Amino acid sequence: MIAGLEDWRGPLLARVRQGFLAADDAMIEEWKWMGSPTWSCDGLVAVANPHKQKIKITFAHGAALPDPASLFNGKDTGATRRSIDLFAPEDLDEAALIALIRAAIAYNRTHLKKNAGMKNR
Protein backbone atom coordinates (compact mmCIF):
# COMPACT_ATOMS: atom_id res chain seq x y z
CA MET A 1 0.00 0.00 0.00
CA ILE A 2 2.70 2.50 0.94
CA ALA A 3 4.69 1.66 -2.19
CA GLY A 4 1.57 2.39 -4.25
CA LEU A 5 1.59 6.01 -3.08
CA GLU A 6 4.08 7.43 -5.55
CA ASP A 7 3.76 11.08 -4.52
CA TRP A 8 4.78 12.72 -1.22
CA ARG A 9 2.22 10.67 0.73
CA GLY A 10 4.16 7.39 0.37
CA PRO A 11 7.38 8.55 2.05
CA LEU A 12 5.38 10.46 4.67
CA LEU A 13 3.25 7.43 5.55
CA ALA A 14 6.45 5.38 5.77
CA ARG A 15 7.81 7.87 8.34
CA VAL A 16 4.54 7.70 10.30
CA ARG A 17 4.78 3.91 10.26
CA GLN A 18 8.37 4.02 11.55
CA GLY A 19 7.24 6.23 14.43
CA PHE A 20 4.55 3.79 15.50
CA LEU A 21 6.87 0.80 15.30
CA ALA A 22 9.62 2.64 17.21
CA ALA A 23 7.31 3.73 20.03
CA ASP A 24 7.05 0.31 21.70
CA ASP A 25 8.42 -3.17 20.98
CA ALA A 26 4.96 -4.64 21.64
CA MET A 27 3.32 -2.58 18.87
CA ILE A 28 1.31 -4.71 16.42
CA GLU A 29 0.80 -3.48 12.89
CA GLU A 30 -2.07 -4.79 10.77
CA TRP A 31 -3.57 -3.74 7.47
CA LYS A 32 -7.35 -3.49 7.64
CA TRP A 33 -10.29 -1.61 6.24
CA MET A 34 -9.39 -1.56 2.55
CA GLY A 35 -5.65 -1.32 3.11
CA SER A 36 -5.35 1.08 6.03
CA PRO A 37 -2.48 0.49 8.44
CA THR A 38 -3.56 0.09 12.06
CA TRP A 39 -1.39 -0.08 15.15
CA SER A 40 -2.35 -1.78 18.39
CA CYS A 41 -0.65 -2.16 21.73
CA ASP A 42 -2.93 -3.48 24.47
CA GLY A 43 -5.81 -2.17 22.34
CA LEU A 44 -6.18 -0.10 19.20
CA VAL A 45 -3.84 2.89 19.17
CA ALA A 46 -4.45 4.44 15.75
CA VAL A 47 -5.27 4.00 12.09
CA ALA A 48 -3.80 5.95 9.18
CA ASN A 49 -5.54 6.73 5.92
CA PRO A 50 -4.05 8.29 2.83
CA HIS A 51 -6.49 10.77 1.30
CA LYS A 52 -6.07 12.66 -1.95
CA GLN A 53 -4.51 15.72 -0.32
CA LYS A 54 -3.40 14.45 3.09
CA ILE A 55 -2.47 11.62 5.41
CA LYS A 56 -4.94 11.28 8.29
CA ILE A 57 -3.91 9.57 11.54
CA THR A 58 -6.84 8.86 13.85
CA PHE A 59 -6.14 7.95 17.47
CA ALA A 60 -8.77 5.63 18.93
CA HIS A 61 -8.80 7.33 22.35
CA GLY A 62 -7.27 10.65 21.33
CA ALA A 63 -9.73 12.75 23.32
CA ALA A 64 -8.25 11.29 26.52
CA LEU A 65 -4.63 12.01 25.59
CA PRO A 66 -2.44 14.98 26.46
CA ASP A 67 -1.37 16.86 23.33
CA PRO A 68 1.24 19.42 24.43
CA ALA A 69 2.57 19.81 20.86
CA SER A 70 -0.97 20.47 19.52
CA LEU A 71 -0.70 17.72 16.92
CA PHE A 72 -4.44 17.07 16.84
CA ASN A 73 -5.70 19.32 14.07
CA GLY A 74 -8.41 17.17 12.48
CA LYS A 75 -12.14 17.70 12.58
CA ASP A 76 -12.76 14.88 15.09
CA THR A 77 -14.14 16.63 18.17
CA GLY A 78 -16.30 13.87 19.67
CA ALA A 79 -15.90 12.21 23.02
CA THR A 80 -13.38 9.57 21.91
CA ARG A 81 -11.30 10.02 18.75
CA ARG A 82 -8.89 12.73 17.65
CA SER A 83 -6.97 12.98 14.41
CA ILE A 84 -3.91 14.51 12.84
CA ASP A 85 -4.08 15.72 9.24
CA LEU A 86 -0.71 15.93 7.49
CA PHE A 87 -0.77 17.97 4.28
CA ALA A 88 2.98 17.97 3.55
CA PRO A 89 6.09 16.08 4.71
CA GLU A 90 7.25 18.99 6.85
CA ASP A 91 4.01 18.80 8.87
CA LEU A 92 5.26 15.70 10.70
CA ASP A 93 7.04 16.23 14.03
CA GLU A 94 8.34 12.71 14.64
CA ALA A 95 9.39 13.27 18.24
CA ALA A 96 6.00 14.74 19.19
CA LEU A 97 4.20 11.94 17.32
CA ILE A 98 6.16 9.25 19.18
CA ALA A 99 5.38 10.98 22.50
CA LEU A 100 1.68 10.98 21.59
CA ILE A 101 1.83 7.31 20.57
CA ARG A 102 3.45 6.43 23.89
CA ALA A 103 0.73 8.35 25.74
CA ALA A 104 -1.88 6.34 23.81
CA ILE A 105 -0.17 3.08 24.77
CA ALA A 106 -0.07 4.15 28.42
CA TYR A 107 -3.78 4.98 28.22
CA ASN A 108 -4.54 1.56 26.76
CA ARG A 109 -2.49 -0.20 29.42
CA THR A 110 -4.14 1.59 32.32
CA HIS A 111 -7.71 2.10 31.12
CA LEU A 112 -8.50 -0.61 28.61
CA LYS A 113 -6.96 -3.50 30.55
CA LYS A 114 -8.68 -2.32 33.73
CA ASN A 115 -12.07 -2.17 31.97
CA ALA A 116 -11.53 -5.53 30.24
CA GLY A 117 -10.94 -7.18 33.61
CA MET A 118 -14.17 -5.75 34.99
CA LYS A 119 -16.19 -7.16 32.09
CA ASN A 120 -15.00 -10.66 32.89
CA ARG A 121 -16.42 -10.59 36.42
- Answer yes or no: is 98 within a domain: yes
- Answer yes or no: is 51 within a domain: yes
Q: How many domains does the chain have?
A: 1
- Answer yes or no: is 2 within a domain: no
d(CA 48, CA 46): 7
- Answer yes or no: is 1 within a domain: no
- Answer yes or no: is 4 within a domain: no
- Residues with Cβ within 8 Å of residue 89, at least 6 apart in sequence: 8, 11, 12, 15
pLDDT tens digits along 67-109: 999 999 999 888 999 999 999 999 999 999 999 999 999 999 9
Tell me, what CATH number does 97's domain have?
A: 3.90.1150
Instruction: State the residue range of the domain holding 15.
Output: 9-119
pLDDT value of residue 19: 98
- Answer yes or no: is 55 within a domain: yes
Is the pLDDT at 47 greater than 60, yes or no?
Answer: yes
Q: What is the pTM of this model?
A: 0.89
- Answer yes or no: is 35 within a domain: yes
